[in-house]
Structure 1
């Protein structure tokens, strides 16, 4: 039996969804969240962080509580409040002259993150492309 174009398109889209929705081997939680949010957006919860935990580190039962305690109440907040791109990836601050005035441009995070540097299996730590932001106590 031949498949319709709609069936083929749906199958293709499911394959794409599975490709970005599943953590890659050795991919850290921050790189996974960055990639998943870029592909799907954030819907106000920790669904991708929970999926990462379930698929990569099922024994990390306190992961969501740790992320929330660091200000990550949803997937995108994790990348704003709990982790941020490592300093070595930021642009450097610099001064420019505009109409005879010196303007200081602040350092900025990268527009897109480089490939994940990897973590050991079962880890919920970010790779060296990210810094953890510690708010209260240890993480």
Structure 2
């Protein structure tokens, strides 16, 4: 086997393809960074007290590209005794992120890629509600005149 001319491999995508890429990289002894499947968490630690700053960053990361990035932050882990404070900051930060026409300069994020994607998100919300989770900010789709 010839040595690889690839010094490093970075892959972002599906879990199935990530396994294939990792196998090929291992066979060739090429260092690899594999981001497969997403669901990246933000972890708020006990000594973190700038809830407003963290919330603004969290919302911006979650809504980047309408949340359709595999590295979009989709979970926030917060110490249980700080949930109320952080939730208030998160709701305030999210208030500025309204969906709209992506061609409008004030739009923070545009539509989802497809109805199927929207349906998957709705299903995830419905599952959370079925587990007794609470809706803090309603995320129902807006009309075409957002």
Flag whether TM exceeds 0.5 (same fold): no
TM-score normalised by L of structure 2: 0.26
Greater relative CO, 1 or 2 (CA 8 Å, sep 6+): 1
